[in-house]
Structures are given as structure tokens and as C-alpha cells.
Amino acid sequence: MPGRLQNRVALITGAGSGIGLECSLLFAQEGAHVALVDVNEQAVQKTHALIAERYPNVKSLPIKADVSKEANVKDMVDQAVSSFGRLDIMFNNAGIMHPEDDNALNTEERIWDLTMNINVKGVWWGCKYAILAMRKNPTDESKGLHAGGSIINTASFVALMGAATPQLAYTASKGAVLAMTRELAMVHAREGIRVNAICPGPLKTPLLMDFLNTEEKKQRRLVHLPMGRFGEAIEVARGALFLASDDSSYVTGTDFLVDGGLSSSYVTPL
């Protein structure tokens, strides 16, 4: 059985951990060639080694890059295209949630700027160079490849809901990702480039679990989760696979929620 991403080329940022790691493995399992990007070189090499071990027929390329730097982003897209010949899927997923990010009164400007540079500017650069590459994608019907491509940007449920446990820079950055995604989806719709945002709920990944480092902090959130548990990175990766594949060929400009019902909830079950 051919995979759902057979012969496609995907670039995934934040591929060394959490959602990016699970997504890299899932896309490889579905037959994509994967360019794996992370600022943490050791982590991205580990993902690369896992793919080589589990999916020996898949081509995988580990790249160290900081998505907040335009030159790094241009270079990572160039490397993916020169190694694999095209770029069909761009998953702008890398992001940070800084432990010193707080409310309007306590958040320092350097934390705000750092968060915006990675979470917003990083997504902008990723979209810019993906669009330039996707415009050149030739159609190859024998391999099921077509012009255009799919861009997925990781936002968050906090772009849609207010939290009384504030992280103002992070929340604002994810709202910007949603707004940017919608506009890019409209601008590039007739070029066959789809642009969607994925909004995970709170997940059991290092990003959140390092922050929720006491049982009390975990319980403060768990009471609001309809399913009574945090999500898993693989559950978000499966949503990203839908947006990456032709299964979502008529989906663009959406805020795709993978949040266990959190954003629909008022009172949760006991």
C-alpha cells in the first residue's frame, strides 16, 4: 500500500522533540522524504537516526537552523529542495513558551521579543521561503505529485481562549500565527498553495511539562480538560498528516483544533 504522502517532500521545524518529532516519524511512515529542522542539533540527529532505523527506504535530511533567522530559513528550504528536488509540505511547528513569560505587568521586553521572533517571525520566514519553493513544483502524475503545496503553521488553543495563568507573549504570538495563516491562505489560494493552522490543546510534551513541574500546576489545568487528560504529540501529528495530505484538498485558511474539546467546554465532566 503506498503511503498517504508517497513521493512528497516535507520540511518539519522543531523536528527534535514533541509534535515535530512525532510528525517526522509519521510523515516518514507515510512515505514522505523529510527535511528535519531544529536549533538543537543533537535532537534533530536523533530523529534522523530513528527514521533511518525504522524506515530505511525514506530519505531524511537533518538540518540545524534557527527559524527566527531569515538566512537560516532560506538555507534550510534551499537544502531541502536541492536534496529532494521540490517542497510539497512545510510544517512551521518550532516554537517556544518561555518560563519568564507572564502577564502585562511582569513580562520583560526581551522575553516578548524573543517569543515573537521565534513564534511569529519564524513562521513568516518559513511561509515566505516555502511559497517561493512551492511555486516551482512541477506536476508529475506518474508519482502523484502536483503543483503548489500545503503549509501548516502550529498555533495553539490559547490563540482562541483566555487563560488566567497568563503567558502574554506566547498567547499574542499564537494569535498572530492564526491571523497570518488566514491571510496567506487567501493570497495564495489560486496558486494551489493551501495554508492552515493547527491548534493543539495542552500536551504531554517537554514544552508544557517542563513548565507544569508540580502536581498542583498540572491539576489547575486538568480540571478544565473535558477528556480529563493532556493530549499526546502523536494526536496532533495525525491532524497535521490530514492537513499535509490530499485528504484535505478543499481545506485552507482553517484553525484546525486538536484540543480534546477544550475550546468547546463550559462545565467539564466530574
Instruction: Answer yes or no: are the C-beta atoms of 36 and 61 closer than 8 Å.
Output: yes
Subset of 79-108 contacting ligand NAD (CB under 6 A): 93-97
- Phi–psi pair at 86, nearest 5 degrees: -170, 175
| Binders in 156-175 for ligand NAD, by CB under 6 A | 156
Q: How far is the CB of 152 from ligand NAD (least distance, A)?
A: 11
DSSP class of 164: S
Scanning 38-46, 78-86, 98-106, 220-228 for contacts with ligand NAD by CB under 6 A, the matching segment is 38-46
Kindly indicate which of the ranges 51-59, 78-86, 125-133, 200-208 contains the residues binding ligand NAD, using the contact rule CB under 6 A: 200-208
Our finding on whether 205 is near ligand NAD (CB under 6 A) is yes
Among 85, 99, 144, 206, binds ligand NAD (CB under 6 A): 206
Any contact of residue 16 with ligand NAD (CB under 6 A)?
yes
* Cα–Cα distance for residue pair 121/130, rounded to 1 Å: 14
- The correct pick among 67, 80, 111, 195 for binding ligand NAD (CB under 6 A) is 67
Cβ-contact 202, 222 below 8 angstroms: no
- Give all strands (DSSP E) within 187-244, no chain letters: 193-200
Question: Total residues at the site for ligand NAD (CB under 6 A)?
Answer: 31
CB of 202 to ligand NAD, least distance (A): 4
Q: Has 170 been annotated as catalytic?
A: yes
Task: Tell me how far, at minimum, the Cβ of 136 lies from ligand NAD, in Å.
Answer: 24
- Closer to ligand NAD at the Cβ: 29 or 40? 40
State which of residues 80, 120, 152, 207 lies at the interface with ligand NAD (CB under 6 A): 207
The smaller minimum CB distance to ligand NAD, of residues 148 and 176, is found at 176
231 forms beta bridges with 203
Q: How far is the CB of 192 from ligand NAD (least distance, A)?
A: 26
Span between the terminal Cα atoms of the chain, in Å: 43
Cell 512551521 -> residue: 92
User: 3-state SS string over 88-157?
Assistant: CEEEECCCCCCCCCCCCCCCCHHHHHHHHHHHHHHHHHHHHHHHHHHCCCCCEHHHCECCCEEEEEECCH
Tell me: does residue 208 bind ligand NAD (CB under 6 A). yes
Cell of 180: 497570518
Min dist. Cβ of residue 237 to ligand NAD (A): 10
Q: Using CA atoms, how far apart are residues 129 and 80, in angstroms rounded to an integer? A: 11
What residues contact 9, with CB distance under 8 A and at least 6 apart? 32, 33, 34, 35, 80, 81, 84, 85, 86, 87, 88, 89
Q: Rule CB under 6 A: which residues touch ligand NAD?
A: 13-14, 16-20, 38-40, 43, 66-68, 93-97, 118, 122, 154, 156, 200, 202-203, 205-208, 233
